[in-house]
Amino acid sequence: MKIAILPGDGIGSEIVAEAIKVLETLNRHFSLGAEWAFGDIGGAGYDVAGDPYPLITRDLAKQSDAVLLGAVGGPKWERLDKPLRPEAGLLGIRADLGLFANYRPAKVHAQLVNASTLKPEVIEGVDLLVVRELVSGIYFGQPRGIEVRNDQRYGFNTMLYAESEVERIARKAFMAARLRSNRVCSVDKANVLDCSELWREVVCRVHADEFSDVELSHMYVDNAAMQLIRNPKQFDVIVTSNLFGDILSDEASMLTGSIGMLPSASIGERWAMYEPIHGSAPDIAGQGKANPLATILSVAMMLQFSLDRIDLANKVEQAVEQAINDGVRTADLATAGAVSCGQMGDAVCSRLKALA
Ligand code: NAD
């Protein structure tokens, strides 16, 4: 099995180095048999090839069983034209690989309850999954632009969903729920938006036709934003559109205490990509302070979804849990005695090795 590794920018190379240590440990002690090759994306892609998603990276990604991405972006590339900026590379690879389903689990570790800004009784035991549609909706809909009408400039975007796009993301959410607590909450704004009205109708139809064993509820996005803070434990799987999912999953990440903890999987019909949900953190890049656990947990998602090794995914999650339980903390989680990014990677690998 071949993995394309795209470290990207900022802390990308630091966190990915720790994920590679985990893959090496799995090869050596669990006979995983993974091989990997590196590619450039984001600012790194622009620096090397004048393109945030270079052709050579496209080829590498498409010839691999899975892609592991660090993060992209940084002040160095902020003034470039929009299509040349690092973020265009990220949207580019998601669209090019057809990665329509984005899974973002948010699980609160018992030992990290006090790292959140919310009260322990509210977040203890939270374990939810946001399933976000990733390659359509308002981020991609046409027409879009800024133009002058009646002597005034107007900015506009189009929120657009085809029935087939809603059907396929709804199916993914129902299937994920069957492996969890069997509950799906579909989040929309059907009281105001026509696009959401269709979304809700299609979700209901897919549910009735194929997944009536799963409990389905609906919530307007403004209420969902409130409920995530008020009582996050009520949620199992949340399925929603690109824009709403972007916002709600970042909100959900803060339930867990640090954005450095949350992995993600983006999956299409043929390819899949795994990445932490955070960005390139230019403020701490090159200092060894980054938390690599989101990236290491993204490797666990890769083992489960792309490499068909749920046994090893469980071991990686167990090793991370043990490191946390043993009090190993990077600076984003520690009140004192923080370890470096590399030391956290080593701590996970030594516990993983002990599970062999
Ligand atoms: P960010 O996620 O990079 O950082 C937000 C805050 O969280 C910072 O204080 C940072 O130090 C901290 N942080 C992030 N990851 C961490 C980790 N692993 N360990 C410890 N602390 C961590 O978001 P931002 O500052 O808004 O954006 C920085 C750059 O990243 C921008 O160029 C942005 O466009 C880009 N970005 C990329 C992605 C991606 O690659 N998927 C996602 C979001 C933002």
The answer to the question of residue 214 being in a domain is: no
CB-defined site of ligand 1, < 6 Å: 11, 15, 71-74, 87, 90, 259-260, 275, 278-284, 290-291, 294, 332
Spatial separation of the C-alpha atoms in residues 105 and 249, rounded to whole Å = 9
- DSSP code string of 297-348: HHHHHHHHHTS--HHHHHHHHHHHHHHHHTT---TTT-SS-PPPHHHHHHHH
Q: Record the pTM.
A: 0.93
Q: Has residue 58 been placed in a domain?
A: yes
Domain that holds residue 93: 1-108+259-356
Distance of CA 239 to the CA centre of its chain: 14
39: alpha, beta or left? (left if phi > 0; alpha if psi -120 to 50): beta
Q: Measured in angstroms, how far is the CA atom of residue 247 from the centroid of ligand 1? A: 15
Q: The CATH number of the domain where 285 resides is what?
A: 3.40.718.10
Query: Is 99 within the bounds of a domain?
Result: yes
- State how far Cα 30 lies from the chain centre: 26
The answer to whether residue 167 is domain-embedded is no
Q: Residue whose CA is closest, atom 43 of ligand 1? A: 279
The answer to whether residue 309 is domain-embedded is yes
pLDDT in tens, the chain (356 residues): 999 999 999 999 999 999 999 999 999 999 999 999 999 999 999 999 999 999 999 999 999 999 999 999 999 999 999 999 999 999 999 999 999 999 999 999 888 888 888 999 999 999 999 999 999 999 989 999 999 999 999 999 999 999 999 999 999 999 999 999 999 999 999 999 999 999 999 999 999 999 999 999 999 999 999 999 999 999 999 999 999 999 998 898 888 888 899 999 999 999 999 999 999 999 999 999 999 999 999 999 999 999 999 999 999 999 999 999 999 999 998 888 999 999 999 999 999 999 99
- Ligand 1: which atom is nearest the Cα of residue 295? 18
Answer yes or no: is 144 within a domain: no
Active site residues: 139, 189, 222, 246, 250
In total, how many domains does the chain have? 1
Pocket test for ligand 1, best of 249, 275, 280 (most atoms within 8 A of CB): 280
Q: Is residue 3 part of a domain?
A: yes
CA distance 182 to 116: 27
**pLDDT confidence of residue 147:** 96
Q: How far is CA 343 from the centre of its chain?
A: 24
Q: What is the pLDDT of residues 85-110, one digit of tens each?
A: 999 999 999 999 999 999 999 999 88
Is the residue at 9 inside a domain?
A: yes
